[in-house]
Structure 1
Amino acid sequence: MTSFADAARSTTRALRDLFPRTPLQRNDHLSRRFGADIWLKREDLSPVRSYKLRGAWNAMRKVRAANPAQRHFVCASAGNHAQGVAFACRHFGVQGTIFMPVTTPQQKIDKTRAFGGDAVRIVLTGDYFDQTLAASQSFCAEKGAHFLSPFDDEDVIEGQASVAVELLDQLGRAPDLVILPVGGGGLASGVTAYLRAEAPQTAFRFVEPLGGASLTAALQAAEPVKLKTVNSFVDGAAVARLGDKTFAHLSWIRPEEVLLAPEDRICVTMLDMLNVEGIVLEPAGALSVDVLPELAEEIAGKTVVCITSGGNFDFERLPEVKERAQRYSGVKKYFILRMPQRPGALKEFLAMLGPEDDIARFEYLKKSARNFGSVLIGIETARAENFAALFAQLDAAAFAYRDITRDEILAEFLI
């Protein structure tokens, strides 16, 4: 019987007909910062800018080998899996029907169509992914097509294992630590299955977005469970339920090996990689780099590989990413100021601002002729500690204010 490692190597060799291996690059900036030997496995540089092509292509290849008459494949995805399936459909010359939520950004729809060309048809249905998934599976059964899961499929897992085959060959030795992003678990399942067999001394850390911790929930319950709510910002890893097959591959993980990355902190990492290194990462693609500060003591002097899993980032989201990064870093705050309705009050407030403070938002919220009016104010500054001086002056002048920067409900309506 062929071992998983042998099958993964065979798949990797066959994959070379599709695209060359993605780079494994030593990152000097991160290596100096953390006193470690840090390498990035650049899955953001695949033909579809994510690793998803590997699993989709391998699953399609296996299905066609077993049943050459199967020429219709279906998937449900709003992102990287859709693009991988589209690319693979065009490669094999088969028909693909790709279901996407109605709310999918036009940029992702256009990219999927570009990769698939005439080989794919895109169906927009459902406001939420669960509705889209149900529609795709119903269509698949009706048409006798083959449904391609984004992660919960053994052939998909085997395809994602090619990432590990490549990185071990490229590095030429076993890394001390591999850091993996986790959504549905397909990438983590494939990479760990291969490296546990071929490089048993290598340790792992797994990273989930704080608002989509499906692996953490599954480990706690000893089985996959559906999260009640999911924050969709890290769209490439915001999965409500880990797969059954992927959990079978990952159930050995200790809870302390899983780290949670706050969505706003991921924005800081994305901007750092863009501004310092010129590397464009989507939120899910930045997960493995984002947790390096938490692991600083552990990784010092060691060889670490971070899987940068994707770079499908719509630059129309850049203002949002910058805003969230500033708020997380403490250099931008929003507050409601209770402004006295008297001559000179506004001038008095403005005089409190320092040379590094800038007003980014100023909006009167006064609704009636009262002695005080509420003002929504957004302040940007160069250093987070500048706010302490501003707030001290406000307190001394008896200006009433409320910091709403991290008040999710008020921020949603006002900011």
Structure 2
Amino acid sequence: MTLFRREEIEAAHRLVHQAMPATPQYAWPLLARRLGAQVWVKHENHTPVGAFKLRGGLVYLDGLRRREPRCTGVISATRGNHGQSMGFAARRHGLSATIVVPHGNSLEKNAAMRELGVELLEHGDEFQAAREHAQALAAERGLHMVPSFHADLVLGVCTGWVEFFSAVQPDVLFVPVGMGSGLCAAAVARRHTGVHTRLIGVVSSHALAYRLSFEQGRAVEAPVTTQLADGMACRSPDPQALEIIRAEAEDIVCVSDAEVAEAMRALFADTHNVAEGAGAAAFAAAMQQRERWRGKTVGVALTGGNVDSGAFAQVLACAAGA
């Protein structure tokens, strides 16, 4: 497992908090009523880009500037939140940022990235195709290719879970899995703080790569068909992330788009926080497993709120017409 010295985690905290305050965690009474358990929500939807990814971007680009002082620009692929974190952090370091997204990507995430100074390019029909195009452009343009998973990304993201575990020690924590930095970071923070919280990863039923890989003990590709949880649209697991997750997570569960939509509605009704699909996946899993954790203390990550207005309106309208 990726291990960090205490001073490295503390330095990452200082770096992140230069750009943003600690995000809150709240125990919401109406969520508790739904689950029959105390429910603590870590609100990473309250960062300056509306998602937890910002923490990793800040730490990664700080390290890059020290490792490669002559670097003038970075490139990466994303469905949105990783790209916003790169744009935000690149601007702070005076770097250019080029982001490749698949065709049909969220219009509002695209607009947010452009407003952060990102050169936005569209390529392919899914994340994997966008990433391969970004890799080719990195070589062609002499740009630094930012990976979707890296130790510095984990180090940055773990600052949020250190905040959480320093305030709350739940019996279980549900964390959505895209490329794996969020769940790996929770494992790092658990060791750092010494809590004994069980970690459960959450994938989309329509993007099962990490679930199948977790079960089979090797990287397994799987098709992506989710229409709502684009932040979990992973076709090919990262081997490093998979190794950590298999060692540290108790289980990986899957939630359907319908369950995610139900969780988005519940979070809005009970907390008036907007959650994008992947951002609501942790609570979707908690609802799915409510009987197992009844009477316990449950932690969930609301990892992002960057859902397009039209998509969110449709999710809410489905409840109204049910």
In 1, Cα distance between equivalents of 2:269 and 2:38: 21
> For 1:186-239, what per-residue CA distance to the aligned partner results, in whole angstroms no more than 9, with x for missing partners?
110111122034324211222111111222111123111211343242101121
TM superposition shift of 1:5: 5.3
TM superposition shift of 1:323: 5.9
Structure 2: 5+ residue runs without aligned partners? none
Does 1:132 find its partner at 2:130?
yes
Q: Higher Cα Rg: structure 1 or 2?
A: 1
Report the 3-state secondary structure (helix = DSSP H, G, I; strand = E; otherwise coil) of the residue aligned with 2:254: strand
Aligned match of 1:411 = none
Q: Indicate the structure whose relative CO is greater, using CA pairs within 8 Å and at least 6 residues apart.
A: 2
Report the 3-state secondary structure (helix = DSSP H, G, I; strand = E; otherwise coil) of the residue aligned with 2:298: strand
In 1, Cα distance between equivalents of 2:48 and 2:308: 17
TM superposition shift of 1:325: 5.3
Aligned match of 1:202 = 197
More divergent stretch after superposition (104-113 vs 194-203): 194-203
> For 1:21-45, what per-residue CA distance to the aligned partner results, in whole angstroms no more than 9, with x for missing partners?
1111111111233332211000111
Report the 3-state secondary structure (helix = DSSP H, G, I; strand = E; otherwise coil) of the residue aligned with 1:299: coil
Structure 1: 5+ residue runs without aligned partners? 327-379, 382-415
> For 1:110-135, what per-residue CA distance to the aligned partner results, in whole angstroms no more than 9, with x for missing partners?
11111x23xx3222233433332222
Aligned match of 2:142 = 144
Does 1:228 find its partner at 2:223?
yes
TM superposition shift of 1:305: 1.5
Aligned match of 2:17 = 16
TM superposition shift of 1:253: 5.0
In 2, Cα distance between equivalents of 1:247 and 1:148: 19
Give TM-score scaled by structure 1 length: 0.72
Cα pair 1:9 1:165 within 8 Å, conserved: no
TM superposition shift of 1:304: 2.0
Structure 1 residues 35 and 272: CA distance shift in structure 2, 3 A: closer
Structure 1 residues 126 and 111: CA distance shift in structure 2, 3 A: same
In 2, Cα distance between equivalents of 1:63 and 1:181: 27
1:257 is aligned, of 251, 256, 259, to 251
TM superposition shift of 1:146: 1.2
TM alignment of 1:2-401, pairs within 5 A: 3-4=3-4, 6=6, 7-114=8-115, 116-117=116-117, 120-150=118-148, 152-171=149-168, 174-252=169-247, 257-322=251-316
Structure 1 residues 214 and 196: CA distance shift in structure 2, 3 A: farther
Report the 3-state secondary structure (helix = DSSP H, G, I; strand = E; otherwise coil) of the residue aligned with 2:70: coil
Structure 1 residues 109 and 228: CA distance shift in structure 2, 3 A: closer
More divergent stretch after superposition (91-100 vs 190-199): 190-199
Cα pair 1:97 1:121 within 8 Å, conserved: yes
Q: Which amino acid aligns with 2:225?
A: V
Structure 1 residues 325 and 90: CA distance shift in structure 2, 3 A: same
The percent of aligned pairs where both chains have the same amino acid is 25
> For 1:368-394, what per-residue CA distance to the aligned partner results, in whole angstroms no more than 9, with x for missing partners?
xxxxxxxxxxxx56xxxxxxxxxxxxx
In 2, Cα distance between equivalents of 1:215 and 1:127: 20
In 2, Cα distance between equivalents of 1:103 and 1:297: 38
In 1, Cα distance between equivalents of 2:107 and 2:192: 42
Cα pair 1:56 1:148 within 8 Å, conserved: no
More divergent stretch after superposition (200-209 vs 278-287): 200-209
Report the 3-state secondary structure (helix = DSSP H, G, I; strand = E; otherwise coil) of the residue aligned with 2:206: helix
Q: Which amino acid aligns with 1:167?
A: F
> For 1:79-102, what per-residue CA distance to the aligned partner results, in whole angstroms no more than 9, with x for missing partners?
111111111111111111111223
In 1, Cα distance between equivalents of 2:5 and 2:162: 8
TM superposition shift of 1:156: 0.9
TM superposition shift of 1:157: 1.2
Report the 3-state secondary structure (helix = DSSP H, G, I; strand = E; otherwise coil) of the residue aligned with 2:174: strand
Report the 3-state secondary structure (helix = DSSP H, G, I; strand = E; otherwise coil) of the residue aligned with 2:233: coil
Cα pair 1:214 1:240 within 8 Å, conserved: yes
In 1, Cα distance between equivalents of 2:5 and 2:178: 23
Cα pair 2:174 2:299 within 8 Å, conserved: yes
Q: Which amino acid aligns with 2:79?
A: A
Report the 3-state secondary structure (helix = DSSP H, G, I; strand = E; otherwise coil) of the residue aligned with 1:252: helix
Q: Which amino acid aligns with 2:287?
A: P
TM superposition shift of 1:52: 0.8
In 2, Cα distance between equivalents of 1:270 and 1:76: 26
In 1, Cα distance between equivalents of 2:69 and 2:37: 49
> For 1:2-55, what per-residue CA distance to the aligned partner results, in whole angstroms no more than 9, with x for missing partners?
952512232112211111111111111112333322110001111111001111
In 1, Cα distance between equivalents of 2:107 and 2:199: 36
Aligned length: 320
Q: Which amino acid aligns with 1:221?
A: Q
